[in-house]
Chains A and B, each alone.
Chain A
Amino acid sequence: MTYRFWASRRLAEFHSTSWSLRGRYLSRKCLHLLNLGCAIHLTAEYIGRPSFMSGPSMLPTFAHEGEVVIENRLSYRLFPERLSRGDLVVLQSPIEPGHIICKRIIGMPGDIVCVDPTGVWAPSTEHVKIPKGHVWISGDNAAYSRDSREYGPVSMSLIQGTLFARIWPLHRATIFRNPMTFLD
C-alpha cells in the first residue's frame, strides 16, 4: 500500500463525512499540532536548538551573518560547574533585556582579570576580581564587541547554554572544542 493510495483514501473518507465530523477531525488535528509545537518549544528550551548567528563581535570564529549553530542547553543545566575558560556561551544580554548574545568565557569566579589590555575602556593597569557566581566574557573580535570590558562581570544566571557545533555553511561545519592551552 503506497502512501498516495493511503492519502487518497483518507481524503475520500474526509470528504464523505458530515460537516460536524469534519470539524471535529480538524480541531483534533489542530490540538495535535499545538502539542507538537509545545514539544518542540520545550526541546528547544531545555535540550538544544539550532540558531542563527549574526553580528561582527565573534569574528573570525563566526562570520558576520549566515551561520547556523547548535546550542547545547542540557549540559549547562545539568552540570553548571563544568563551564570553563574558553567555552563559547549563549547568554541573555545584561544591558539589553530580551537580547541573546554569544561570547567567550575569559575568567571564572575568583579570577583576577585585566579589564582592558588595550587601554580603550579602562587604563591597561586596572584589574578586577570576579565576584562569586559571575564570569568575565569577551567577544573574539575585540574591536567590535560590547562585552565585560564595558559592563563588567556578568552573572552566571544569565547563561542559557553552550555552543555545540556549527552546521551551516557545510564546508565550515565543526564541533566546538575548548581551545585553551595552559602555559606552565
Chain B
Amino acid sequence: MRTWHSLFGALSRFRIPPWLYWSPTAVLLATSFYVPMQISGRSMQPTLNPDSSAWRDVGIFDRFRVGLSHDFHRDDIVALRSPENRDRMLVKRIVGVEGDLVRTLPPYPDSVVRVPPGHVWIEGDEPFYSDDSNRFGPIPAALIDAKLVGILWPPNRFGRLTPDVSLAKNGAAYRHAMTLLQKERSRKARVNSIHIQG
C-alpha cells in the first residue's frame, strides 16, 4: 500500500513540460504545409543555384497540396524522394505526365517513351549534371513530396522562379532570362502531350 502511494506521488509530481506537451502540433504544423529546404547541386541550373550566385538557394516548398491532392502539373519544380535511395531528396522539373510521349536524352535506351499511368517524367534543367528520368526512367508520382513555390534565399532572387524578360535591363539579366526561355522552349518541343483515345 505504501509503495503504491509513493509511486502515485512520484507520478503526480512528474508534470509534462508544456513545450513537450504541445510538440505534436508544432511538429505537424512545421512539416506539413510550407517547408524551407536548401537546394544543393547544379542539376537545376540556371533556374536554381546559378553560377552567378554565391549562396546555395533555399526554396520554399508546398507539401500540403501535393500530399493531399497530388496537385502538380507539367513544368512544376518538385522535390521527390530518389527512386534509388530513400534517404536522398532530388529537386527536378516535371517534363511529362502520364500518357505523354517524351523524346529522351542520351543515357536512356529508347529514343521515345510513353509515360505509363501514375508516373511522371522528370528532368533537371541542366541535363549534363542531372540524375533524372533519362537515367532511371519514368518515376511513380507517389514519390513526389513537395512543390517549389518560391525562392527564400538569396535575397536578390527572393520570390521569383522565372525572371521577366521585359524587365531585364542590363546584359547579364537579359542573357539569363533568354537562356531560361530557350531551355523552356526546347523542353516543351520534346514532349507530345496530345493524347489520342482509342
Residues of A within 8 A of B (CB): 34-35, 38-39, 41-42, 80, 92-98, 131-134, 151, 154-158
- 30 contacts across the A-B interface (CB closer than 8 A): A35-B22, A38-B24, A38-B27, A39-B24, A41-B28, A42-B27, A42-B28, A80-B86, A93-B140, A93-B142, A94-B119, A95-B117, A96-B117, A96-B118, A97-B140, A97-B141, A98-B70, A131-B84, A133-B83, A133-B86, A151-B116, A154-B140, A155-B83, A155-B139, A155-B140, A155-B143, A157-B81, A157-B85, A158-B140, A158-B143
Task: Report the Cα distance A98→B72, complex, angstroms.
Answer: 13
**Separation of A80 and B27 alpha carbons in the complex (Å):** 24
How distant is the Cα of A71 from the Cα of B82 in the complex, in angstroms?
A: 24
Query: Once the chains are docked, how many angstroms separate the CA of A155 from the CA of B118?
Result: 14
Write the nearest CB–CB distance from A105 to chain B, whole angstroms: 15
Closest residue to B139 on the A side, CB-wise? A155
Q: Are B25 and A38 in contact (CB under 8 A)?
A: yes
Task: Given A38-B27, A38-B28, A133-B85, answer yes or no on A92-B142 (Cβ-Cβ < 8 Å).
Answer: yes
Q: How far is the CA of A154 from the CA of B139 in the complex (A)?
A: 10
Q: Hey, which chain B residues are within 8 Å of A35, CB to CB?
A: 21-22, 24-25
Main secondary structure of the interface of B (DSSP, over half): mixed
From 1 to 60 in chain B, residues with beta carbon under 8 angstroms from any chain A beta carbon are 21-22, 24-25, 27-28
Most buried by A among B24, B119, B142, B143: B142
A131-B84, A132-B84, A133-B86 are known contacts. Are A98 and B27 too (CB-CB below 8 A)?
no
By beta carbon, the residue of chain A nearest B80 is: A157
Q: Say yes or no: B140 contacts A92, CB within 8 Å.
A: yes
> How near does chain B come to A34, taking the closest CB pair, in angstroms?
6
Chain B nearest CB, measured from A48 CB (Å): 16
B111-135 interface code vs A (CB 8 A; 1 in, 0 out): 0000011110000000000000000
